[in-house]
Amino acid sequence: MCLLGIISLTLLSSLCHAKPGNRQKICAVKASGSNATDDTPAIRSAFTECGRGGRVVFTPTTYYVNSILNISSLEDVDIDIQGKLLWSTDINYWLNHSVAVGYQNQSTAFILGGNNVRINGHGTGTLDGNGDYWYEWIKKQTNTSNYPGRPHQITFNGLTNSVVKGLNFIRSQMWTMSIIHCGNSVFEDILVNNTGNRVSSSNTDGADTIYSTNLTFKNWTVYNGDDSISFKANSTNIRVLNSHFYNGLGIAIGSIGQYKGRFETIENIRAENIYFSNTLHTFYVKTWTDDQNGYPPNGGGGGLGYAQNMHLKNLTVEGLRGAAFSISQCTRFSGAPGVGNCTNSQFQIRDVDIDGLKGTTKSSRVASLQCSAVKPCTDIELYDVDLEFANGTSAASYLCGNVKENKGWECTGPVCEGGSATGEC
């Protein structure tokens, strides 16, 4: 049993009690009911009370998140999200207080980590980043790609042996979910909708994995304008199953090779039964060149390593906008300095197979593979491909450069070599 402290209503943290016959402590987070009052002190207090062996409950109401949250070192806890967490629109605050993610000089508004954490949104629990304000603001800036301090909606840092399910992520401020130093966890029944009400969204990835292993993404639905889901440095043993991606860029590997002299890997990636509507690609890989021009997040290059053992099966597309499968080893973001040699990357891509790729496309390019002359792409396999234009004719263009030991397809022409952040010139 826990005693309810006598504190002011504005800082009332939780209603804590133990169910009869149940030793699990329950903390129902008290909402202020007004966007003029920050609910993060109440949220922090609830996790302090119940974050180890207990249950934290967000009731069916709105919680106003007006300051950063760092909830770490959780252990054996249930997080029941029935309501909505709504982030404030104080852009200046977030630019100056967002917390470092630990990669690419990215930052976040919310860190959550721990072991044996069970988060359930029941299909209604929502995290709302109030992104319309960010999308309008970022379009007015010179740097529209990775503006310093623009936060990810949530970062799972050190989340292990855990389940995140049944949550809705709406209009994220930037990337929706960054997943770093995580392992043995499942993310399922997730909706991401970063469609702006007033202007289109920018740099709003569905999820990005970094230094993480043994993850499963199951039954995701993502509406956005950037990577549907992306696997970055040292992402291994990851599955994406039975998911639907709309309007974005598709499943991405990278960008990677951004840190000069650093050896990084991506391997054992599986995607199966995936539907793509109006995406640019189904699957694409992006690496930086061997020339370092500036520093992350918008600059970089000179990284080492490889991406290998990537297998995709049963991909269905509708209205594809670009090459179904794309590799660009000449990544260059908006605002990145310099040009660089597009064929000198020291990062190698190998052992990729796509088995079953069907549907309609607006592009003649089935594949556009711009690989490194220094470390050519090897063992690229494409089988059972049937892509058609609206008039029923087949897409049949396979463009390539520096590709060896390809199977199931033949190169039909040279690929474009040029800077890209989205997989093609």
**Does residue 204 fall inside a structural domain?**
no
Confidence at residue 73, expressed as pLDDT on a 0 to 100 scale: 97
Summarize pLDDT for 212-229 with one digit per residue, the tens. Answer: 999 999 999 999 999 999
**Does residue 146 fall inside a structural domain?**
yes
Confidence at residue 287, expressed as pLDDT on a 0 to 100 scale: 96
**Does residue 350 fall inside a structural domain?**
yes
Report strand pairing: 168-170 vs 208-210.
Answer: unpaired
- Give me the mean pLDDT over the 396-415 stretch: 97
Give the range of the structural domain holding residue 376, as residue numbers without chain letter. Answer: 249-425
Confidence at residue 3, expressed as pLDDT on a 0 to 100 scale: 36
Gap between the Cα atoms of 128 and 167, Å rounded: 11
Same domain, 285 and 349: yes
- Quote the mean pLDDT of the chain: 93
Rounded to 5°, the CA angle 244-256-344 comes to: 125
Summarize pLDDT for 132-153 with one digit per residue, the tens. Answer: 999 999 999 988 888 999 999 9
Residue 299: pLDDT above 60?
A: yes
Residue 12: pLDDT above 60?
A: no
Confidence at residue 201, expressed as pLDDT on a 0 to 100 scale: 84
Same domain, 191 and 268: no
Same domain, 150 and 257: no
Q: End of a domain among 196, 220, 239?
A: 196
Residue 397: pLDDT above 80?
A: yes
In the structure, what pLDDT confidence band is assigned to residue 339 with cuts at 50, 70 and 90?
low
**Does residue 122 fall inside a structural domain?**
yes
Residue 190: pLDDT above 70?
A: yes
Which of 226, 227, 291, 353 is an active site residue?
A: 226
Gap between the Cα atoms of 331 and 336, Å rounded: 10
Gap between the Cα atoms of 343 and 417, Å rounded: 8
- Give me the mean pLDDT over the 254-277 stretch: 97
Confidence at residue 145, expressed as pLDDT on a 0 to 100 scale: 80
**Does residue 234 fall inside a structural domain?**
no
Residue 7: pLDDT above 50?
A: no
**Under 8 Å between Cβ of 247 and 223:** yes
Same domain, 188 and 300: no
Q: How many domains does the chain have?
A: 2
Report strand pairing: 397-401 vs 365-370.
Answer: parallel
355 a catalytic residue:
no
Same domain, 177 and 275: no
CATH number of the domain enclosing 295: 2.160.20.10
**Does residue 202 fall inside a structural domain?**
no
Cα 167 to Cα 53, 62, 184, 392: the distances in Å are 22, 15, 19, 39
Same domain, 258 and 132: no
Q: End of a domain among 163, 196, 229?
A: 196
Summarize pLDDT for 364-376 with one digit per residue, the tens. Answer: 999 999 999 999 9
In the structure, what pLDDT confidence band is assigned to residue 298 with cuts at 50, 70 and 90?
confident
Gap between the Cα atoms of 191 and 220, Å rounded: 6
Gap between the Cα atoms of 200 and 204, Å rounded: 10
Gap between the Cα atoms of 62 and 83, Å rounded: 6
Lowest mean pLDDT among 3-12, 168-177, 229-238, 379-388: 3-12
Report strand pairing: 208-210 vs 177-180.
Answer: parallel
Confidence at residue 338, expressed as pLDDT on a 0 to 100 scale: 55
Same domain, 409 and 275: yes
Residue 262 CB neighbours (<10 A)? 14
Summarize pLDDT for 179-188 with one digit per residue, the tens. Answer: 999 999 999 9
Residue 333: pLDDT above 70?
A: yes
**Does residue 286 fall inside a structural domain?**
yes
Gap between the Cα atoms of 7 and 383, Å rounded: 65
Summarize pLDDT for 28-75 with one digit per residue, the tens. Answer: 999 999 999 999 999 999 999 999 999 999 999 999 999 999 999 999
In the structure, what pLDDT confidence band is assigned to residue 22 with cuts at 50, 70 and 90?
low
In the structure, what pLDDT confidence band is assigned to residue 293 with cuts at 50, 70 and 90?
confident
- Give me the mean pLDDT over the 164-190 stretch: 98
Confidence at residue 8, expressed as pLDDT on a 0 to 100 scale: 37
Same domain, 375 and 285: yes
Same domain, 188 and 319: no
Residue 2: pLDDT above 60?
A: no
**Does residue 423 fall inside a structural domain?**
yes
Same domain, 183 and 262: no
Confidence at residue 337, expressed as pLDDT on a 0 to 100 scale: 54
191, 293, 320: which is closest to 244 by C-alpha?
191
The larger pLDDT score, comparing residue 294 to residue 148, is at 148
In the structure, what pLDDT confidence band is assigned to residue 259 with cuts at 50, 70 and 90?
very high
Same domain, 297 and 372: yes
Same domain, 179 and 297: no
